[in-house]
């Protein structure tokens, strides 16, 4: 996530605007259009929820796959081959 507009201060006291949005990149005196901290936090929480859902879905699929391998007559050989390929 890009950093919002902020000022960089040099040791001599000179301040330089570091724009984080297109509005201020084109015109330093324009109103900043960077997302607020609250909206960024809401976005990141939604992303985290999506990642957690995907992870739970993957775990369920993984457990189903392992159960299928355990019951398949060639399961141990298939699992061993997959493990060899994974370690490369």
Say yes or no: 82 and 41 in one domain. yes
Range 35-43 average pLDDT: 90
Say yes or no: 82 and 56 in one domain. yes
Angle, in degrees to the nearest 10, between helices 37-71 and 75-86: 140
Whether residue 2 is predicted with pLDDT greater than 80 in this model: the reply is no
Q: What is the mean pLDDT of the chain?
A: 91
Say yes or no: 8 and 47 in one domain. no
Say yes or no: 9 and 41 in one domain. no
Contact 72, 78 (CB under 8 A): yes
Range 61-86 average pLDDT: 91
DSSP classification of residue 12: T
Whether residue 1 is predicted with pLDDT greater than 70 in this model: the reply is no
Say yes or no: 46 and 30 in one domain. no
Q: Which of 28-32, 49-53, 69-73 has the lowest mean pLDDT?
A: 28-32
Q: Report DSSP letters for 29-63, one per residue.
A: TSPP-PPPHHHHHHHHHHHHHHHHHHHHHHHHHHH
Say yes or no: 50 and 77 in one domain. yes
pTM as predicted: 0.59
Pairing label, strands 15-18, 6-9? antiparallel
Say yes or no: 29 and 51 in one domain. no
Range 18-30 average pLDDT: 89
Tell me which residue range forms the domain holding 20. Answer: 1-34
- HSE of 22, CA atoms in CB hemisphere, 13 A: 0
């Amino acid at each position: 996530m890009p950093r919002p507009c902020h000022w960089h201060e040099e040791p001599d006291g000179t301040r330089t605007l570091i724009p984080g949005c297109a509005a201020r990149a084109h015109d330093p005196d324009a109103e900043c259009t960077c997302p607020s901290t609250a909206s960024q936090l809401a976005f990141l929480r939604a992303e985290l929820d999506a990642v957690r859902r995907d992870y739970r879905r993957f775990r369920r699929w993984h457990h189903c796959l392992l159960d299928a391998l355990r019951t398949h007559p060639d399961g141990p050989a298939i699992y061993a081959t997959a493990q060899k390929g994974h370690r490369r």
